[in-house]
A and B are shown apart, each in its own frame.
Chain A
Amino acid sequence: RKEVEQDPGPFNVPEGATVAFNCTYSNSASQSFFWYRQDCRKEPKLLMSVYSSGNEDGRFTAQLNRASQYISLLIRDSKLSDSATYLCVVNRPVLKLSFGAGTTVTVRA
């Protein structure tokens, strides 16, 4: 079983729509969770950390469900510029990260 699993998508949504997707992780001892964004042929960049109580950053909302070991990302009012691959990232010992293969989102005009 992979350490981090994501629905690869693609999620094709119109501008202004809401899109949400999850990832699951296998290590119940994981403590730190992140969403990274990767544009086509570019390097990954941190989008946001995911906190236990859930957190928002503008149009982006991240949720963590420890009991079911999944993390979600919701994007409201989608923009064309949100088109990217979103990587679910979970810490692993020691001070390393496990990356999911990514969920591709395409926002169309």
Chain B
Amino acid sequence: GAGVSQSPSNKVTEKGKDVELRCDPISGHTALYWYRQSLGQGLEFLIYFQGNSAPDKSGLPSDRFSAERTGGSVSTLTIQRTQQEDSAVYLCASRQQGYEQYFGPGTRLTVT
């Protein structure tokens, strides 16, 4: 079946602009995660959605970052007033049961 998809695959933006990153999880997966990965670094947890529960936002690095998940499916991660340190690969993952997470191909964000 279809895996996790993300769009765009690459995004170049100017410092100070807002960006929106999209994630389509695997159909039926109730849990959705956002991570970011900087060069040579591990995955940094950002936010976690589980069903209709309030999201776990404990990993968001600043109030410039927000995310929503509409209808329990598609999620959008928004970064306002982007900074150069926001440049990274943003990965989305979904999960159904247990701990195994299935990752999308990521969005490579470059802030110039």
Could you tell me which A residues sit within 8 Å of B by CB distance?
Answer: 2, 4, 8, 32, 34, 42-46, 49, 87, 91, 94-102
- Dominant secondary structure at the B interface: strand
The count of A-to-B residue pairs whose CB atoms sit within 8 angstroms is 45
Using an 8 Å CB-CB cutoff, how does the interface string of B81-112 with A read, 1 for contact, 0 for none? 00000000001000100011101111000000
Q: How far is the CA of A46 from the CA of B106 in the complex (A)?
A: 16
Q: In the complex, what's the smallest C-beta–C-beta distance from B92 to chain A, in angstroms?
A: 9
How many of B's residues come within 8 Å of A, CB to CB? 20
Residue of B nearest to A32 (CB): B99
Determine if B45 and A44 form an interchain contact, defined as CB atoms under 8 angstroms apart. no
The reply to whether B99 and A43 contact each other, CB–CB distance below 8 Å, is no
- Determine the residue in chain A with the shortest Cβ distance to B92: A43
Q: Which residue of A lies closest to B59 (CB)?
A: A96
